[in-house]
Amino acid sequence: MLVHQLPASPSNLRVRTWRRLQELGAVALKQSVYVLPDSPGAREDFEWLKVEIEGSGGEAVVFVSDSVDPTADAELVEEFRKARQGQYAELAAELQRVKKPDRKARGRRDHVARYQQRLAAIERIDFFGAPGRDRAASLLAALEPKTGEQASATRASAASGDYRHRLWVTRPLPGVDRMSSAWLIRRFIDAEAKFAFAADPKSAPAGAVTFDMFGGEFTHRGRLCTFEVLCAHFAIQDAAVTRLAQIVHDLDLKDDHYGAPETPTVGATIHGLQLSCADDHQLLEQGIALFEALYRSFATTARPKAARRRKSRS
């Protein structure tokens, strides 16, 4: 639970706080009292918001609460479901009004990716399986390009000129999210990316792109780690990357949401790298090499499975 008191100024703090709570999927119990299902990720999200509120002159406290009334618990779960159901319905209504773009339309990939990101954002905060998700997903599927077009869209999105030949800045002592994000950046977004370290975004050089730091350009969003946020923003659709994202999510958010069997081994390897490398640049490069090796392994094992599925259908 998060309880806050906001100052009269800055005037936009109330709006920013409300929007952030919506992104997290929090439900209001009463004015200035918000709740999320208890998980390490939810606690971290509320703690970050608490820091932002206090940094703007407000007050906030985060605590864990147990209800002694099962009926109240059920009512609260229903409030979460209603909130997500409304978002699914809103997205579905908008998708119904969308005319499928021409196959050759230049903006088609952005057109579809925007709705994919919205659906993914709702799914991430759909804690109790709200109705309406399947209908929205079905309407979106009708707009999505075929497999070959998806690959082209991924390459085109990743090659965005705004993020090429840039300096990318993150926090020192890189861990799983920063290592994997740096690998993703260099492989899919900015092949010439250079990396540097700073304590916070304000300390980063002018013109640098900040990632995995509080207040950075690319960082945790709702229940998404930085790696997942980058994948969504740049519309990176790749089966091997998806497997990596599941491992990174579970290690970084510590919620065991996906339960990939490789997760403990990857976590132990990264911990060993941190103990072995005193230099942040060397540590990050070793982490990038680790995720490149994992990606190649996952990509290789995915292809035979796909081939077997095609053969079984023939």
Q: How many helices (H) and strands (E) does the chain have?
A: 11, 7
pLDDT of residue 101: 53
d(CA 22, CA 78): 16
pLDDT of residue 93: 92
pTM above 0.85, yes or no: no
Q: Which residues contact 110 (CB under 8 A, 6 or more apart)?
A: 157
What single string gives the DSSP state of each residue in 274-303? HHH--SHHHHHHHHHHHHHHHHHHHHHHHH
What tens digit of pLDDT does each residue of 228-284 get?
Answer: 999 998 888 888 999 999 999 999 988 888 888 999 999 999 999 999 999 999 999
Q: Is the pLDDT of residue 139 over 90?
A: no
* pLDDT category of residue 306 using cuts at 50, 70 and 90: very low
In DSSP terms, which residues pair with 4 in a beta bridge? 60
| HEC per residue, 123-186 | HHCCCCCCCCHHHHHHHHHCCCCCHHHHHHHHHHHHCCHHHCCCEEEECCCCCHHHHHHHHHHH
Domain ranges of the chain: 2-62, 70-145, 161-313
d(CA 235, CA 151): 10
DSSP 8-state symbol, 217 = S
What tens digit of pLDDT does each residue of 208-223 get?
Answer: 999 999 888 999 988 8
What tens digit of pLDDT does each residue of 63-113 get?
Answer: 998 876 778 788 899 999 999 999 999 999 998 888 655 554 445 555 677
| Token pair for 217 | 């350009």
pLDDT of residue 156: 42
What tens digit of pLDDT does each residue of 36-70 get?
Answer: 998 877 888 899 899 989 988 999 999 998 876 77
Q: Read off the pLDDT of each residue in 114-138 and give the average, rounded to a whole number.
A: 84
